[in-house]
Amino acid sequence: MYSLPNLHVRHADARGSSSSGQLWAPLNKFHSLSGKANNTAHERILSIYGTGEEVSVFVFDIKSGSETQFDVAKTAIKRLKTLRHPSILTYLDSLESEKVLYLATENVEPLETHLRKLSKEGHQRELYIAWGIFQITRALSFLNNDGNLRHNNVCLSSVFVSAAGEWKLGGVEYMAGASEGTGLPIKILPALEKYDPPEKSDPSKQRLITKCSTDMWGLGCLIWEVFNGQLPQQAALKDLENIPKQLSAVYCELVGANPSSRPNPADVITRCRKLGGYFKNDLVDTLLFLEEIQIKDKGEKNRFFSAITPQLDNFPENVCRHKILPQLITAFEYGDAGSVVLMPMFKLGRLLDEPDYQSKIVPCVVKLFTSTDRATRIRLLQQLEHFIGHLQAATVNDQIFPHVAHGFMDTNPTIREQTVKSVIHLAPKLNYNNLNVEVMRHFARLQSKDDQGGIRTNTTVCLGKIAQHLHPQIRQKVLISAFIRAMRDPFPPARSAGVLALAATQQYFLLSEVAIRILPALCQLTVDPEKPVRDNVFRAIKGFLGKLEKVSEDPTLRGSMEADVHTSTPSLSNAAATWAGWAVTAVTSKFYRSQSDTVKSITPVTSRTLSKPGSL
């Protein structure tokens, strides 16, 4: 009697009990291969039931089955126990009771069910089916060539699909050793007879049977069913209309009448993996590379990860999420893949739900920020916008920002520039001290002393973008001084950035400051040697003067004009903000593009509520 001492099954109506050694059958059937509740019409002796995310349970009803069927079912379990291959259904545990025989495997669904869920056509489907057929061919090569076994039962209902989209060969009820003679097994279910090769009924051809000829016939039947649906009768195999052209020559050999002329599965793989072959496509290449990544050198890995990102859009989501992403994470954590793995890893991370993202991606992100490798740090900062939304504020402040802050003082200009730009995404989650003290301290130094004009310019741009996140008292203290300092910079783009930032943040300034500090500073630039600077200055002056003139005409407007000065949640409907829309657009559209800049336009972040610190 088999027992299930360690099996735990997750299902709304079923669960495993390690203490009792019993597996409760699910109350709600997930799927039956024949679509009916009884066993007599099944194409498989075992019926499949879904039991949640962890396992699937196959059930054989001992009382309704014959003794021969019971023996075949037990033999299948013993056989599956001994087989371990990535493309063969994985045995987990089994249990025999007085009434029922249970077999627990990895969580799968029938291939026929899975194919119905796929889109009817398209490049993604083509790539994926080629990968699936490759996997079954590989499983048969393992059985025939390495295990010296014949499967004897290859067809659509013998194949299952895992959560990762991997095709798994099951249905091992009739498996036998290749050395046990050339006789073909008698199948106890009549529905399976249509898959028997022609030599079974022709004794003259049985001497031509090879160790792989029967399974190659079955592979041909499987290929036909993948593209056409269940095989109605053996004569339908002659219909090649839906078989891909790349595969038609091999297919014709597989279903050839002469068993000795059917190819070995290893030869099928070799031929179809050549350039232009059916198994030669981006998805198969990618997944095979990942399977062998441990034996690849660093140069091969770098080239692979650099090229994979644009290809991911053509791959099935379940394959990306459950197959490729775990491999990328493993390559990052335990291999020498380096920073090139970040872009595809973050792209696929979007497919995860929040709990999975927190458990799988966030730990990698936190670890990455501790890296001293400059290439890794640059790529990480460039990709920040793709994962910052998943990071908790405490994680950002305690584990990430301290490492980011080192970049403000890095000797490499590119690191300093990317660090400045990263503040755009970090600002909404930074606490008072990190944003209003630490960031402002570094910004003041970079804006006034950095030897790179582009970095001084972008520091001003960034300050204008994050103004809404600063504490009101810090805004009043910092903004005007910082922007006027920028307007005196010898680098023309820096002066333009100062003017634009003043106009874009005009709602944060008291009218008295506009008259006494801002307008005099702007007037000095009306004679700037650069016309683009002068154009922005005149436009800003007109706006600020118009604002003062409106209040002069109607003093009651003063309150609305200064409504956002002391608030931590600026109003989007501030009447005074409309005239500076041009400046807001200019500041929030993009950073100054310096020679070291490799980042595209950055989208401005949304505002958040700030609380006043106890020290103010």
Express as a percent the part of the chain with pLDDT over 70: 82
Answer yes or no: is pLDDT of 54 > 80.
no
Residue pair 61/123 in contact by the 8 Å Cβ criterion: no
Q: What are all long-range contacts of 234-237, with beta carbons under 8 Å and residues at least 24 apart?
A: 234/194, 234/198
Q: Write the DSSP symbol of residue 549.
A: H
- Can you spell out the DSSP letters for 393-435? HHHIIIIIHHHHHGGGG-SSHHHHHHHHHHHHHHGGG--HIII
Mean pLDDT of 560-578: 64
Find the mean pLDDT for residues 522-541: 95
| pLDDT reading at 578 higher than 60 | no
Exposed/middle/buried for residue 228 (C-beta within 10 Å: 0-12, 13-18, 19+): middle
User: Which of the four pLDDT bands, split at 50, 70 and 90, describes residue 181?
Assistant: low
- State how far the Cα of 520 lies from the Cα of 107, in Å rounded to an integer: 73
Q: Is the pLDDT of residue 30 over 90?
A: no
| Range from 47-56, 66-75, 490-499 carrying the lowest mean pLDDT | 47-56
Q: Are 32 and 181 in contact (CB under 8 A)?
A: no
User: What is the reported pLDDT for 329?
Assistant: 86
* Residue 11: predicted pLDDT: 33
At 295 the pLDDT is 86
Which residues are CB-neighbours of 385 under 8 A, at least 6 positions away?
A: 425, 602, 603
Mean pLDDT of 172-178: 87
The correct CATH number of 111-280 out of 3.40.109.10, 1.10.510.10, 1.10.3720.10, 1.10.20.60 is 1.10.510.10
- Distance CA(65)–CA(61), nearest Å, equals 6
Q: What is the pLDDT of residue 39?
A: 35
DSSP β-bridge partners for residue 106: 55
Q: Cβ neighbours of residue 434 under 8 Å, at least 6 residues apart?
A: 397, 401
492-513 b/e (C-beta count within 10 Å ≥ 16 → b): bbbbbbbbbbbbbbbbbbbbeb
What residues pair up with 168 in beta bridges, in sequence order?
A: 160
Exposure string of 295-330, with b = 16+ CB inside 10 Å and e = fewer, is: ebeeeebbebbeebbeebeebbebbbbbbbbebbbe
What DSSP string describes 493-519?
HHHHHHHHHHHHTGGGS-HHHIIIIIH
Distance (Å) of CA 336 to CA 294, 301, 324, 339, 362: 10, 8, 17, 9, 19
Residue-level pLDDT at 61 = 83
Q: Which of 35, 46, 138, 34 is nearest to 96 (CA)?
A: 46
Band of the pLDDT at 525, cuts 50, 70, 90? very high
Q: How confident is the model at residue 594 (pLDDT cuts 50, 70, 90)?
A: low
Reply yes or no on whether the pLDDT at 8 is more than 60. Answer: no
Comparing CA positions, the residue from 576, 577, 503 lying closest to residue 535 is 503
Question: Which among 392, 465, 405, 391 has a CA at the least distance from the CA of 433?
Answer: 405
Residue 132: is its pLDDT beyond 60? yes
Maximal C-alpha separation, the chain: 110
- Residues 394, 383: Cα–Cα separation, whole Å: 20
Task: Give SS3 for 41.
Answer: coil
Does 115 score more than 90 pLDDT?
A: yes
| Per-residue CA distances from 353 to 320, 348, 349, 392, 578 (Å) | 14, 11, 9, 15, 39
More confident residue, 237 or 591: 237
What's the pLDDT tens digit per position in 457-489?
999 999 999 999 999 999 999 999 999 999 999
Q: What pLDDT band is residue 585 in, cutting at 50, 70 and 90?
A: low
Of residues 334 and 438, the one with the higher pLDDT is: 438
Quick check: 12 pLDDT over 70? Answer: no
Residue 379 has pLDDT above 60, yes or no: yes
**3-class DSSP assignment, residue 85:** coil
- Across the range 96-110, mean pLDDT stands at 87
Span 171-187, average pLDDT? 78
pLDDT for the residue 590: 53
Query: pLDDT at position 440, please?
Result: 96
Return mean pLDDT, the chain: 82
pLDDT of amino acid 57? 85
Residues 6+ apart with CB under 8 A from 274: 280
Within the chain, all domains assigned CATH 1.10.510.10 are found at: 111-280
Per-residue confidence band for 597, with pLDDT thresholds at 50, 70 and 90: very low
Q: Which carries the bigger pLDDT value, residue 117 or residue 139?
A: 139
Q: Where in the chain is the domain with CATH 3.30.200.20?
A: 10-106
Least confident of 131-135, 228-232, 291-295, 509-513: 291-295
How far, rounded to the nearest angstrom, does the alpha carbon of residue 343 sit from its chain's CA centroid?
Answer: 10
Is residue 538 packed enough to be buried (19+ CB in 10 Å), middle (13-18) or exposed (0-12)?
middle
**Tens digits of per-residue pLDDT, 300-333?**
888 898 899 999 999 999 999 999 999 888 887 7
In contact, 415 and 377? CB cutoff 8 Å: yes
Instruction: Give the per-residue pLDDT at 426.
Output: 95
Q: What is the pLDDT of residues 392-433, one digit of tens each?
A: 999 999 999 999 999 999 999 999 999 999 999 999 999 999
Q: Taking the domain 10-106, which CATH number applies?
A: 3.30.200.20
- CB neighbour list of residue 70: distance below 8 Å, 6 or more residues apart: 60, 62, 101
Torsion of CA 316, 318, 321, 323, to 10 degrees: -90
Backbone angles phi, psi at 287, to 5 degrees: -70, -35
Q: Report the helix count and the strand count for the chain, using DSSP H and E.
A: 28, 12
Distances (CA, A) of 576 to 20, 184, 516, 542: 73, 88, 19, 13
Helix (H) / strand (E) element for 149: namely strand 149-150
* Domain ranges in the chain with CATH number 1.25.10.10: 392-616
Residue 337 pLDDT greater than 80, yes or no: no
Q: What is the structure's pLDDT at 118?
A: 86
Tens digit of pLDDT for each residue in 202-256? Answer: 777 777 888 999 999 999 999 999 999 999 999 999 999 999 999 999 999 999 9
Residue 47 tokens, joined: 């019926």
Contact assessment for residue 504 and residue 580, using Cβ atoms and an 8 Å cutoff: yes
Nearest to 589 by CA among 577, 603, 600, 578: 603
Count how many Cα atoms sit within 13 Å of the Cα of residue 565 in the half-sphere of its side chain: 16
Strand partners of residue 100: 61
Whole-angstrom distance, CA of residue 555 vs CA of residue 349: 54
CATH classification for the domain delimited by 392-616, as one of 2.30.40.10, 1.25.10.10, 3.20.10.10, 3.30.70.270: 1.25.10.10
pLDDT band at 188 (very low <50, low <70, confident <90, very high): confident
